[in-house]
Structure 1
Amino acid sequence: MKGWQTVRIGDVCEIKPSKRQARAALSDNDPVSFAPMGDLGIGQKYLSASDERPLSEVARSYTYFADGDVLLAKITPCFENGKLGIARHLKNGVGFGSSEFMVIRPGQELLAEYLYLFLDRDEFRQRGAKVMTGAVGHKRVPQEFVEASDIPLPPLEEQRRIVAVLDEAFAAIATATANAEKNLANARELFERCLADVFEAPSSDWIVEPLKANVRFIDYRGKTPPKREAGVRLITAKNVKMGFIQRQPEEFIDPAAYDSWMTRGFPRQGDVLFTTEAPLGNVAQLDTDEKVVIGQRLITMQPNPDRLNRTFLKYMLCSAPLQRAILEQATGATVSGIKAKLLKEISICYPRWMDEQLAIVERLDRLYDLSQSLADSAKTKIKRLESLKQSLLQRAFSGELTMREPLAA
């Protein structure tokens, strides 16, 4: 690549510029922009500072930056998620913000937009994540890693061309991604609307009774079984999502402790699982016939099979009317939850005859499968668009980017 060279970021950038620069240019009462971590976006090229404060209020405790600086979130999970942006349109050209910002000031031979694109690559984040230091939950990417990272450096005119080509391609990708995300939201709304139609205005001859009337509750809340690396699978509230159970995180207990632990009842395939807090109100059916242990913040519901179909109960608990009724009984200022005795008193409404319940379940199953198919298609589109973006970035920094890149995803 003619005219290209490879340099260390630390050789062409100043990292963590001194606050003395701001103090030398401004008085204590002069306003400057202020940006907490929340102002730094993901996939958002420019920082939009949300506040202004006097220099004297922020200069001591916060991180200094100026117009044209590149801000990189250095703490987990913000770094891995790609929080990154270029400062511009700052009050008096100066900003202060989160202590978790790493400020990178490009030299004259490096465009801030070009550096931003280089740092926005998955490959850079993956390498950085491997060398993070600090306690769990507070790990940070070291300044030394950024300084020592090699960056391909073409002439400024080539940098401008690369930035222009990628900006055009990424604008098209952003539009396509927004459309795919709208389709995903529409797919979810389609099923939720159909579900609400069934349970918002039930037939007048449906049975109305408290949940406890024909549903057995198995409640292991307040108990935490000792865990091990393998054994009987433990299902917790973290596994139960709205309408399905996800495999991760995988946790286990000792098989020898299964019978002595599960003294309140054994869950069976098809049973309805309900999260009582963190989060409140997620509902799914147990999808396996293997032995499992039910953890904290979960209630297992076993309806009377002669009166109430298990899948019908799942859909009913997922519906907007029942979710509203559950939330009305929730307690807790920080984390919403519901007590078992209040949950048992929630009124439910269902058809008297089992064949009518089964017909509704069959119709809702078809609609659910359709909405999932539409959602999966939208998710696949979004993943392909992100892969295309990363492919374009890889080509850009290897000198393979043509003047116009087709959007094909």
Structure 2
Amino acid sequence: MKEGWRDTSIGDVCDVVNGGTPKTNVATFWGGKHMWITPAEMGRRSDPYVDTTARRLTDAGLTAANLLPAYSVILSSRAPIGHLVINSIPMATNQGCKGLVPKPSIHFKYLYYYLGSVVGLLNDLGTGATFKELSGGKLKEVPIPLPPLSEQHRIVAILDEAFAGLATAIANAEKNLKNARDLFEGSVSAVFTAKGDDWISLQIGDVATTQYGLSGTLNSDGVGYRIFRMGEVQRGAMVDSGRMKYINIDRAEFESYRLRRGDILFNRTNSVDLVGKTGRFDLEGDYCFASYLIRVTFDPEKMDSRFAAYLMNANDFLARIRSKAARSVNQANINATILRGQKIDLPSSVQLQRKFADKFDELSSAARRLEKHYETRMLELESLKQSILQKAFSGELTAPPLSAIKEAAE
């Protein structure tokens, strides 16, 4: 331990305050002057400071919660554990948060940065069957290295400068990643928008058959056959992550749902922005598919399945098919009848379809290389962030590592 530092605990340097939620059906509790924040709202923030919230409490509603003084640190303690904000005005929270009110021995921003560096530990301390929750008692026991206040201020100033640079670098990497994806999607969509003189219009049902997937109890023990679900539909392909579920059915039933190369799987039920996600199966081995997916089998003499996968993932197709979905709350459903009746435009020649599919494959590979590059950059920046935090709380941080940040961002 560096000279002047001491080992202590969160409970010794903070008052830990529970949140609460007044009855939502009592109008007199809501719409007042007191800010009230939830973990979900915290998770949507990029700035550590918060001075306004979506919902507010009246004086009467505040009796079910606790008002934290300004410049406390608010930690989400469930669903999930680890979101952090600093309230720049007095604020209450719901029961999914813990308010940490700093004592005079600790700088609020030093506390904020430290908690951000030990989110993994906080999650490990959470308990619960349905979802993990971090209790106030466990939080108070979390160890924290505490330098003198003057050193805390110095560390905070360095971290502020370093993290401002990191935030800019990460934002640029995220923008470039999005641009790479948009460039590919725009190029594919342009082909389907422009069409050509030799293109024809028809319905999916004219060139394909459809089949709903299997319902049944799934297992993680490797008993039966691997079964694709919605989560394995990724980037226009069916991906075996190595963590797939299994369904225990006899061989005869399996053969009715066995996937074959070129089969298209269409996600028929999901949130509004994910329903319609489509993947093409191109793997070796015994696989089947679950009930929230529709298998679309195209006649190879009329439509190339690679071209079909690109068409069904194009922005124009997704917008049109989603507009016909049945909706309830945040869910949308597209049944096989609607899917078969969806009009599509395509080259009349399967050979020309394959040429387009070859071009799309090239564009996809180039876009993926760019994405991998920027994804690697983002991982490097996150690793650098953790390295800076580790040095900060071990007393080894001497100056803002701006050159390292600039190098990782280039």
Return the TM-score normalized by structure 2.
0.89
Post-superposition offset of 1:263? 5.7
Q: 1:395 to 1:304 in 2, by over 3 A?
A: same
Post-superposition offset of 1:64? 2.4
Q: Which amino acid aligns with 2:126?
A: M
Hey, what's the Cα distance between the residues in 1 that align with 2:32 and 2:318?
51
Q: Which amino acid aligns with 1:135?
A: A
Post-superposition offset of 1:55? 4.2
Q: 1:384 to 1:228 in 2, by over 3 A?
A: closer
**Stretch moving more, 395-404 or 234-243:** 234-243
SS of 1:11's equivalent in the other structure is helix
Hey, what's the Cα distance between the residues in 1 that align with 2:222 and 2:110?
48
CA contact under 8 A between 1:39 and 1:47: conserved in structure 2?
A: no
**Stretch moving more, 60-69 or 263-272:** 263-272
2:95 aligns with one of 74, 96, 99: 99
Q: 1:153 to 1:343 in 2, by over 3 A?
A: same
Which residue is 1:12 aligned to? 13
Hey, what's the Cα distance between the residues in 2 that align with 1:57 and 1:362?
66
Which residue is 1:40 aligned to? 42
Hey, what's the Cα distance between the residues in 2 that align with 1:296 and 1:18?
41
SS of 1:178's equivalent in the other structure is helix
CA contact under 8 A between 1:63 and 1:98: conserved in structure 2?
A: no
2:326 aligns with one of 325, 328, 331: 331
Which residue is 1:25 aligned to? none
Hey, what's the Cα distance between the residues in 2 that align with 1:370 and 1:30?
54
Residue pairs, 1:363-374, within 5 angstroms: 363-374=359-370
Hey, what's the Cα distance between the residues in 1 that align with 2:32 and 2:199?
69
SS of 1:213's equivalent in the other structure is helix
Structure 1 residues 341-398: Cα deviation after superposition (integer angstroms, max 9, x where no partner): 1110111221122221111111111111111111111111111111111110001000
1:312 pairs with 2:318: no
Runs (5+) with no aligned partner, structure 2? 21-30
1:375 pairs with 2:377: no
1:289 pairs with 2:281: no
1:112 pairs with 2:105: no
Residue pairs, 1:7-406, within 5 angstroms: 7-16=8-17, 31-41=33-43, 44-50=47-53, 53=56, 55-77=58-80, 79=81, 82-88=82-88, 90=89, 94-121=90-117, 124-137=118-131, 139-220=132-213, 223-231=215-223, 232-248=225-241, 249-254=243-248, 257-262=249-254, 264-278=256-270, 279-334=274-329, 335-406=331-402
Q: 1:341 to 1:327 in 2, by over 3 A?
A: same
CA contact under 8 A between 1:218 and 1:264: conserved in structure 2?
A: no
Q: Which amino acid aligns with 1:159?
A: Q
CA contact under 8 A between 1:392 and 1:401: conserved in structure 2?
A: yes
**Stretch moving more, 111-120 or 208-217:** 208-217
Q: 1:295 to 1:54 in 2, by over 3 A?
A: closer
Q: CA RMSD in A?
A: 2.2
Post-superposition offset of 1:246? 3.5
SS of 2:11's equivalent in the other structure is helix
SS of 2:258's equivalent in the other structure is coil
SS of 2:327's equivalent in the other structure is coil
- Percent of aligned pairs sharing the same letter: 28
- Size of the aligned set, in residue pairs, is 387
Hey, what's the Cα distance between the residues in 1 that align with 2:194 and 2:66?
56
Post-superposition offset of 1:258? 4.2
**Stretch moving more, 239-248 or 373-382:** 239-248
Post-superposition offset of 1:17? 7.8
CA contact under 8 A between 2:205 and 2:341: conserved in structure 1?
A: yes
